[in-house]
Amino acid sequence: MAQVYTGALVVVDVLLTLLKILYCIGEAIYKLFVPTKEKDVTGEIVLITGTGHGIGKELALKYASLGATVVCWDLNQEMNQETVAEIKKMGGTSAYAYKCDVTDREEVLRVAERVKEEVGNVTILINNAGIMPCHSFLDYTPEEIRKIFDVNVLAHFWVLQAFLPNMITKNHGHIVALSSMAGIVGLTNLVPYCASKFAVRGFMEALSEELREYSKGKNLNINFTTIYPYMVDTGLCKKPKIKLDCWTQGAHLNDVCLCP
């Protein structure tokens, strides 16, 4: 009897999985012809970390073009100012540059207070800042590993501790985190980086669930989005070489990232 019951459960699980697959395919086809309407960010105050170059800079330029007030955080003040200058050159007037070391909790809290006083309450927060030293695991120094986690993981904690309470009070906010495909699959020569991006994924999923329970059935208007980019030419990894082999016996994708 137990075997029959177990077999029935397996059949039900398989059918449910097939139904979910069909639903996702149908939803994807529908959205192909009827795209989801973009979120209107006019008047929103968007804070982005790591805006001196790369993805952070491009995000700042895009949000400014869509009518948002953009707050740029970066440790490199000169490059950060250049981003704001580009925004103003293209006609955006609501852009502000702040120098901030996101690995320093006290500095994050201090600069966050300045932003609240000088710009207003942040309504969209994008944790983008990251570093990616690239070489074999045994060649990483303890200092490198700690720095990777300070920038790629712990900074998310400090920035959210600074801005999330007000979002909860106002019941309005959107939190975005830049993870990576390296937060989905492991990559050679990027062991600490992969671990940090897996951590971002877990952090966002757990925090979203905690706030869902925190709301106790109320309509909590705080959204969470985690982005998983693949290889992007931002300067973090020089001359990357990608080798995609077939699925191995352990169902592990063998990706090789070599950064000379």
Which among 140, 193, 214, 228 is annotated as catalytic? 193
Contacts of 20 (CB under 8 A, 6+ apart): none
Q: Where are the alpha helices (DSSP H) in 34-76?
A: 54-65
Are the CB atoms for 183 and 156 separated by under 8 Å?
Answer: no
Judge whether 63 counts as a catalytic residue. Answer: no
Residue 37, judged by CB atoms within 10 A of its CB (0-12, 13-18, 19+), counts as exposed
Q: What is the distance between the alpha carbons of residues 146 and 152, in angstroms, rounded to a whole number?
A: 10
CA proximity to 222, closest of 239, 202, 207: 207
CA proximity to 152, closest of 108, 198, 92, 99: 198
Taking every pair of C-alpha atoms in the chain, what is the biggest distance, in angstroms?
74
Label the pairing between strands 255-258 and 241-244.
antiparallel
Which residue's structure tokens are 């990777």? Answer: 148
Active site residues: 193
